[in-house]
Chain A
Amino acid sequence: MNRRNFLRNTGFVAAGSLFVPAFMKPFEALALDELSLYKNLVVVQLSGGNDGLNTVVPFGNDLYYQKRKSIAIKPEDVIKLNDMQGLNPNMAALQEIYDQGWMTIINDVGYPNPDRSHFRSMDIWQTGSDSNQFLSTGWIGRYLDSNCQTCKFPYTAIEVDDSLSLAMKGQTKKGIALKDPAALFRNTNNPFFKAVLQNDQEHLDEDNLGYLYKTMIETQSSASYIQNTSKIYQSKFTYPSSGFANQLKTVSKFISSGLKTRVYYVSLSGFDTHVNQIGQQGNLLKQYSEGMAAFIKDLKSNNKLDDTLVVTFSEFGRRVEQNASSGTDHGTANNMFVFGGRLKKQGIFNAAPNLSDLDNGDLKYQLDFRQVYGTILDKWLDVNNGDILNKKFNTLDFI
């Protein structure tokens, strides 16, 4: 062991015995719950309604070219995955990831009676509700509420952002939003913040003031834990320079330094391409793919890819037929991407969208998005999906 590695490892020892490399610690000393904590979920949200048909292009279907005269991706430009579907050329960075078997594409995910408003549909995806139901908690938030063995810490769910999405808010527990662990650490350790919290025992009850103090205390302890655990870790990996890649780099730092966090949430916005879609969406898909490819390779090089599952969604897909402005309008079912080192079904999971059997010009969904959530909850986060989603959903075999 060289000096630098030695220092790094002693740093890990100081941050908690969990981070001692396994060979330095007798196996029986590793508690079972500590082992299971190594499974991470990363949720990636594409905001604005990404056009799935120009992302995973059905180049084998003539109807696609008939309905998209000026914005279809030419067959020769598509990165072909099989005889029917292939990736947008701006996603070239993901080809290697796909070929390694680290990526699964799930076609036509949606829900009954789809809503075409951004806000409402995002609400439905984040809360996991039916389309005529209004929930004030998110699906990950309710996972936190379930108080399971693996979700009891306030830092169980981290969103790399300035504000917390509804998906991450439960009734009694909420995830934590932070862009920069060092900044949050400074803010929760300034003299004023400390003075407010000092010797505060009387507020630890159930009323609203108690709730505010509890939130402050948890924020402070989470900030310290996250900062102290992750500050020593330096990624050797080069990420592209985009805000999105930076978010993923932060997540990678957290995962690789061994945070006991289970769920991470990041987002990329700007996908509402009503006008001149080709350039706008191309740019975003390039940012997405290059960031994601770097992230997946980084995790692989740290031996974390087997313990990580990344899932990407958008609030809806777009109409099959383009509009008069070389763009597309709000639609319904869409594809989702899953990444990880231990995927059961790699590549394309189910049949390509049927472009000849439409519902008022929109794709019909094959799979309910809550089947995807349910699969993740059951098989990856080790909870019963019916408890979180309010009814039981059949699981899928991608993991």
Chain B
Amino acid sequence: MNAKDNSLRVKHLYNRAGFGISYADLHKLSRKNTEKIVAGLLKETKDDPITLVSDTESRRQMLVQAGLYTKKNLSDEEKKIRQEIIRMQNEVSKDLNIAWIDKMINTTSPLREKMTLFWHGHFACRSNEPLYAQQLNNIQRTYGLGNFKTLLMEVSKSPAMLQYLNNQQNRKGKPNENFARELMELFTLGRGKYTENDIKESARSFTGWMYDKDGTFIFRQNLHDDGTKTFFGKTGNFDGENIIDLILAKPETAEFIARKVYKFFVNDQPDEAHVKELGDHFYAANYDISALIKKMFTSEWFYSAENVGTKIKSPIEFLVGLSREFYVTYNKPQILIQLQSSLGQYLFNPPNVAGWPGGQNWIDSSSLMLRMRIPSLVLNDGEIDFSGKADPEDEAVIALNKNATANANNAKPKSYVNANADWSKFLSTFPKGTSPLELTAFLLQPKLNDKIIKMVSDNKGLRSTAVEITSMPEYQLV
């Protein structure tokens, strides 16, 4: 294979496994074969957790909150303290969001962050407590390329998930089935692979899985139902870990995860033969996620025409990809939250436990119009008058804010995106004499058609070409 054909493959791999690649890096890698590059992607990922949310400060706040919660009548001073904690949690949650998107933009381990993003949507969860949200995100990052069993176990024991799916209320004699149901329906097997009775019995097995008031997992023996349960036709004195083992013993679990991975990395419309191939491999590899990923990225079908330049970028892939590509600095990073929310993928705030539906669901007239405007706003520091809707979970904070009433629905003043693209750095990655058409071919993943070729052929400058091309519908595909 010649270097030019190989560079198309490498670009595709980096677009899907990460958030794109610079022209210079692409040029370097194009001489290597796929196996080596995939091995490199898997190897260069070191664990690098987010440490923004302070453990000690969060735990201090949690203890204060827990104390106030049990009190019947709060003094004005105590009410103020409680409001202040809510306000700080909200602010830190936004900082956490920005810390992660900033990490995706600047990471040297793109596959690990992409995998974290995948698990973020798979184990979809919301938590008002930023420490819990950070913990869960770090679990998904640390174990995201390791063994699925470890990942699943850690997620199931995280305060964020125990809280979100009400396992904190799951007690002997008073079972709460929420976690048990979603564990099978959304996290492992998929609908129709278990009975209602399996849900009831496994819910009993997870009784006593809780976290204590400073946010540490604890197994409360006295709240655990240690009676006999019948699950998947087997009878025993099962606890939560036994249930997870029994779920993983089913090959359907491996196939379910493989299908979801395929839809995220390869194509919205799964090819069932390829999914089966991946599922079998994943199961045989004893749920080693890296083995699954390696199999997928080294399969010839991953590079076939129907899988290249045909997937609609998620809002995060779009924003991170654009920002990485042009070395963008956001002087007012809050704009990234506004954009995530307006484009329909607000990190740490999935629509429900099923995660973002993805694919064509990302696109409606307003989100597409906004996507097509963002490159000129970000790259040319444009003005934005887009306000969007508040996230429903922010309502409490809106209501707390005294001025909210006056401002909530009035048009906000225009604001500038206030971002800088490093154009000289961007342009320096290209060889001298690169033409607008060559730049276009590099920036777009779908094949160029006559219309695009004609549009850019009148263009003299690389900079204006770049802004124009990234504003095209074709740039929405990867």
A-to-B contact residues, CB < 8 Å: 47-49, 117-120, 122-123, 132, 134, 136, 154, 161-166, 168-169, 174-178, 184, 187-188, 192-193, 195-196, 198-200, 202, 207-209, 211-213, 215-216, 218-219, 222, 242-244, 246-247, 267-275, 280, 283-284, 287, 315, 324-325
- Asked if A243 meets B408 with Cβ closer than 8 Å, knowing A123-B352, A209-B474, the reply is yes
Q: Which of B73, B361, B389 gathers most chain A CB within 10 Å?
A: B389
Q: Tell me whether B399 and A134 are in contact (CB under 8 A).
A: no
15 A-B pairs besides A117-B126, A136-B361, A287-B409 with CB distance below 8 A are A47-B389, A48-B396, A119-B126, A119-B351, A119-B393, A163-B344, A164-B365, A164-B367, A165-B389, A177-B366, A208-B312, A247-B409, A270-B398, A270-B404, A325-B79
Contacts of B268 in A (CB 8 A): 208
Closest A residue to B386 by CB, please name it: A162
Q: Tell me whether A270 and B360 are in contact (CB under 8 A).
A: no
From B181, B388, B391, B474, give the contact of A119 (CB < 8 A): B391
Q: Which of A165, A208, A216 gathers most chain B CB within 10 Å?
A: A208
Q: Which of B74, B372, B471 gathers most chain A CB within 10 Å?
A: B372
Q: How many A-B Cβ pairs are below 8 Å?
A: 171
From A136, A187, A243, A269, give the contact of B369 (CB < 8 A): A187
Q: Which 7 A-B pairs have the closest CB atoms?
A: A243-B409, A48-B395, A272-B395, A118-B392, A136-B357, A219-B365, A134-B354
Q: Tell me whether A268 and B409 are in contact (CB under 8 A).
A: yes
CA A280 to CA B401, docked complex, whole Å: 10
Closest A residue to B82 by CB, please name it: A325
- Asked if A192 meets B310 with Cβ closer than 8 Å, knowing A118-B395, A219-B365, A269-B395, the reply is no
Q: Tell me whether A176 and B72 are in contact (CB under 8 A).
A: no
Q: Tell me whether A209 and B392 are in contact (CB under 8 A).
A: no
Asked if B457 is at the interface (CB within 8 A of a chain A CB), the reply is no
A-B contact pairs, 14 of them (CB 8 A): A48-B399, A117-B393, A118-B395, A119-B349, A122-B392, A163-B367, A177-B365, A187-B369, A196-B473, A198-B451, A211-B360, A242-B409, A268-B409, A272-B399
Q: Tell me whether B410 and A216 are in contact (CB under 8 A).
A: no
From A117, A269, A273, give the contact of B390 (CB < 8 A): A269
From B126, B365, B400, B477, give the contact of A275 (CB < 8 A): B400
Asked if B63 is at the interface (CB within 8 A of a chain A CB), the reply is no
Q: Which of A192, A267, A287 gathers most chain B CB within 10 Å?
A: A192
Asked if B387 is at the interface (CB within 8 A of a chain A CB), the reply is yes
Asked if B476 is at the interface (CB within 8 A of a chain A CB), the reply is yes
From A120, A164, A198, A287, give the contact of B366 (CB < 8 A): A164
Q: How large is the interface on B (under 10, 10 to 19, 20 to 34, 35 or more residues)?
A: 35 or more
Output the least CB separation between B353 and chain A (Å): 7
Contacts of B83 in A (CB 8 A): 275
Chain B contacts with A in 377-391, Cβ cutoff 8 A = 386-391
Output the least CB separation between A51 and chain B (Å): 11
From A117, A222, A325, give the contact of B74 (CB < 8 A): A325
Q: Tell me whether A222 and B365 are in contact (CB under 8 A).
A: yes
B-to-A contact residues, CB < 8 Å: 71-74, 79, 82-83, 126, 181, 268, 310-312, 341-342, 344, 349, 351-354, 357, 359-361, 363-369, 372-373, 386-393, 395-396, 398-400, 404-405, 408-411, 446, 449, 451, 455, 468, 471-474, 476-477
CA A315 to CA B395, docked complex, whole Å: 12
Contacts of B408 in A (CB 8 A): 243, 268-270
Contacts of A272 in B (CB 8 A): 395-396, 398-399
Contacts of B364 in A (CB 8 A): 164, 168-169, 174-177, 215
From A49, A134, A207, A269, give the contact of B389 (CB < 8 A): A269
CA A198 to CA B449, docked complex, whole Å: 13
Output the least CB separation between A220 and chain B (Å): 9
Q: Which of B74, B342, B400 gathers most chain A CB within 10 Å?
A: B400
Closest B residue to A200 by CB, please name it: B451
Q: Which of B268, B366, B372, B396 gathers most chain A CB within 10 Å?
A: B366
Q: Tell me whether A48 and B368 are in contact (CB under 8 A).
A: no
Output the least CB separation between A199 and chain B (Å): 7
Q: Tell me whether A163 and B405 are in contact (CB under 8 A).
A: no
CA A244 to CA B408, docked complex, whole Å: 9
Output the least CB separation between B395 and chain A (Å): 4
Q: Tell me whether B472 and A196 are in contact (CB under 8 A).
A: yes
CA A177 to CA B360, docked complex, whole Å: 17
Closest B residue to A266 by CB, please name it: B409
CA A362 to CA B372, docked complex, whole Å: 46
CA A136 to CA B404, docked complex, whole Å: 30
Output the least CB separation between B78 and chain A (Å): 9
Contacts of A280 in B (CB 8 A): 399, 404-405
Contacts of B473 in A (CB 8 A): 196, 209, 212-213, 216
CA A187 to CA B405, docked complex, whole Å: 31
Contacts of A123 in B (CB 8 A): 351-352
- Asked if A315 meets B366 with Cβ closer than 8 Å, knowing A209-B477, A280-B405, the reply is no
Q: Which of A47, A176, A199, A247 gathers most chain B CB within 10 Å?
A: A47
CA A119 to CA B124, docked complex, whole Å: 13
CA A49 to CA B20, docked complex, whole Å: 42
Q: Which of B341, B342, B367, B451 gathers most chain A CB within 10 Å?
A: B451
Contacts of A247 in B (CB 8 A): 409
Output the least CB separation between A36 and chain B (Å): 25
Q: Tell me whether A270 and B74 are in contact (CB under 8 A).
A: no
Contacts of A325 in B (CB 8 A): 74, 79, 82
Output the least CB separation between B54 and chain A (Å): 26
Contacts of B398 in A (CB 8 A): 48, 269-270, 272
Q: Tell me whether B79 and A195 are in contact (CB under 8 A).
A: no
Q: Tell me whether A161 and B389 are in contact (CB under 8 A).
A: yes
From B71, B451, B477, give the contact of A208 (CB < 8 A): B477
Output the least CB separation between B391 and chain A (Å): 7
Closest A residue to B79 by CB, please name it: A325
Output the least CB separation between B337 and chain A (Å): 14
Closest B residue to A241 by CB, please name it: B410
CA A47 to CA B364, docked complex, whole Å: 22
Closest B residue to A267 by CB, please name it: B389
Closest B residue to A45 by CB, please name it: B389
Q: Tell me whether A215 and B368 are in contact (CB under 8 A).
A: yes
CA A176 to CA B472, docked complex, whole Å: 20
CA A161 to CA B473, docked complex, whole Å: 23
Output the least CB separation between B100 and chain A (Å): 20
CA A232 to CA B115, docked complex, whole Å: 53
Q: Tell me whether B395 and A219 are in contact (CB under 8 A).
A: no
